[in-house]
Amino acid sequence: MRVDSRAPLITTVPVTGAALRSLAADHPTRYPVFFDSAASGPLARYSMLACEPRATLIREADGTLSANHRAIINGGFLDNLEAWYRSEAVTVVSGGEKKPLPFLGGWFVYLGYETAAEIEPRVRMPRADAPYSAFALRVENFAVHDLAAGQVYAVSQHGDAAAHAQLVRDLTEADQAQAASQALPPTLSALDEEPEELFLARVRAAQEYIAAGDIYQANLSRRWHLKLQDREAA
């Protein structure tokens, strides 16, 4: 267990929450994960935008592991994530003051259904449709939108002044660009729906599996592909 006495940097940035959405849409490499709280209420108070992860761990679609700035050990994704977490576990010395925000840095983790094969090896899961089935990002710099207070914060967990200043600039520039464009909503140019009969066939199959006692629930969805019109072309 390491002791970390570095104070985080937290700056209130005079921008709207639309700045977070803009950065996520326009700069997905630098801002790869956006948790947008669209609902109302205490459980949906904060939206968070991750900025340039310090390190990544990825479970590829075929189950193999890859990592960036992180060594891979024997075992699966969950084994590696636990080892990574334990290696970075710290005791934060903060003087006992209350944290201004509930999240000041850590891991953004996605676990697809295919990851269940690591917990129960007898389960035969299909290959993931996406390029990956799970990932973990170690995030130290991010933006937070407090919907209840109407405030946007730039947060740098370990007080990285240069990264913090860049994050503030990005938020400010994104907000100015939004204002200049009058925040026009995107225009839908094409919509391709999965045929209704394919979806209904899956519903009937799930009902048969439930009746046979093979499963007790199923999460089904109908795939839509959307294409948005290029604003500049319009």
**How is 96-163 classified by DSSP, letter by letter?**
TPPPSSS--SEEEEEE-GGGHHHH-TT--PPPPSSSEEEEEEEESEEEEEETTTTEEEEEETT--HHH
Let me know whether 89 and 199 are in one domain: no
Position 232 scores a pLDDT of 55
Last residue within a domain, chosen from 163, 180, 197? 180
The model's pLDDT over 113-137, given as tens digits with 9 standing for 90+, comes to 889 888 888 877 788 778 889 999 9
pTM of the predicted protein model: 0.73
Let me know whether 143 and 212 are in one domain: no
Position 3 scores a pLDDT of 41
**Average of per-residue pLDDT values in the chain:** 87
Residue with the two structure tokens 């999965």: 194
Specify if 163 maps to a domain: yes
CATH classification of the domain holding 22: 3.60.120.10
Position 179 scores a pLDDT of 77
Position 138 scores a pLDDT of 96
Let me know whether 175 and 192 are in one domain: no
Let me know whether 156 and 70 are in one domain: yes
Let me know whether 127 and 28 are in one domain: yes
Specify if 198 maps to a domain: yes
| Cβ(153)–Cβ(144) below 8 Å | yes
Coil vs helix vs strand at 92: strand
Coil vs helix vs strand at 49: strand
Neighbours of 108 (CB within 10 A): 18
Let me know whether 92 and 160 are in one domain: yes
Let me know whether 166 and 197 are in one domain: no
- Rounded to the nearest angstrom, the gap between the alpha carbon of residue 81 and the centroid of all alpha carbons in its chain is 16
Let me know whether 174 and 206 are in one domain: no
Let me know whether 134 and 211 are in one domain: no
CA atoms within 13 A on the CB side of 63: 13
Specify if 13 maps to a domain: yes
Specify if 234 maps to a domain: no
State the residue range of the domain holding 218: 188-228
pLDDT below 50 — which residues of the chain? 1-3, 93, 95-96, 234
- Measured over the CA atoms of residue 40, residue 43, residue 45 and residue 50, the dihedral's sign is negative
Let me know whether 195 and 164 are in one domain: no
Let me know whether 86 and 166 are in one domain: yes
Specify if 165 maps to a domain: yes
The model's pLDDT over 87-109, given as tens digits with 9 standing for 90+, comes to 987 655 454 456 778 888 899 99
In total, how many domains does the chain have?
2
Specify if 233 maps to a domain: no
Let me know whether 95 and 202 are in one domain: no
Q: Dihedral (C-alpha) 36, 174, 180, 234: value to the nearest 10 degrees?
A: -70
